Amino acid sequence: MQVVSSIVDLEQILTHQHTKMALVPTMGALHEGHLSLVEIAKSKAGFVMVSIFVNPLQFGPNEDFTKYPRDLRSDLGKLAGLGVDLVFAPEVADIYQSKPKEIMANPQLANILCGLSRPGHFDGVCTVVYRLFELMNPSFAIFGEKDYQQLMIIQDMVKSYKLAVEIVPAPIIRESSGLALSSRNQYLSDSQKLAAANIHQVLKRFANDEIDINFARDFLSKLGIELEYLEKHFARTYIAAKVGSTRLIDNV
């Protein structure tokens, strides 16, 4: 498994690749959900790449960019032995050597759900993903369905810019409680994690029309969870909620 941070080193390696390549873009703090994406990548291509980059453009001024968990050594340990060929772990200056080409997300997809409380977030996501595709030229890129809104936006970006990459969706990986795996779960205390499992239960019940939004908000509030949204779009149901200061999302 080769690990590089500079674009020069990346290009030297990729110049010699003559097989299809699959990319798993991540922000690190890897968990079993990320590792499941690697397995899908291995099934799609002969050369598997993982990027680890905490992208400042997708964090708002009051969000957790500086506190976002970073542990490259741990991440590399988790990837070792999984059949990953290349890990690209650049610094901000490596990715954005000059002013980045800004890629705007489709407003019809971006200005709802997470986009309402995180203005500019999906523009930042599109900008960095476009840049990674530009640098790494994958035939396939694997994105988890936990952030389904992001998945749709990336698919739309690829179509709009006619990029030669296939976006491969990957199913949500959950704990036995139903809580969707997330790098931000490590912010939660044991009691908060127990309470957070109710987010998925509320989501399923709302999706099945068993409860309404008022019941959901009151139920979660009693557990110390602040509901941000619980809505149906594009034949799916989405939720965002804060457990303490930790914002979690899910969908079914």
Q: Catalytic residues, which ones? A: 34
Residues with Cβ within 8 Å of 122's Cβ and at least 6 positions away in sequence, in order, are 58, 105, 109, 110, 114, 115, 149, 150, 153
233 burial (CB, 10 Å; 0-12 / 13-18 / 19+) is middle
CA 252 – CA 246 distance, rounded (Å)? 20
Which is it for strands 236-243 and 225-233: parallel, antiparallel or unpaired? antiparallel
Q: How far apart are CA 112 and CA 251, in angstroms?
A: 14
DSSP at 186: G
Q: Using the CB atoms, write b or e for 173-205: b if 16+ within 10 Å.
A: bbeeeebbbbbbbebbeeebbebbbbbbebbbb
Rounded to 5 degrees, what are φ and ψ at 182? Answer: -155, 145
Residue 84 near residue 118, CB atoms below 8 Å: no
10 Å CB burial of residue 79 (0-12, 13-18, 19+) is buried
Rg of the chain (C-alpha set): 18
Q: How many other β-carbons are positioned within 10 Å of the β-carbon of residue 72?
A: 14
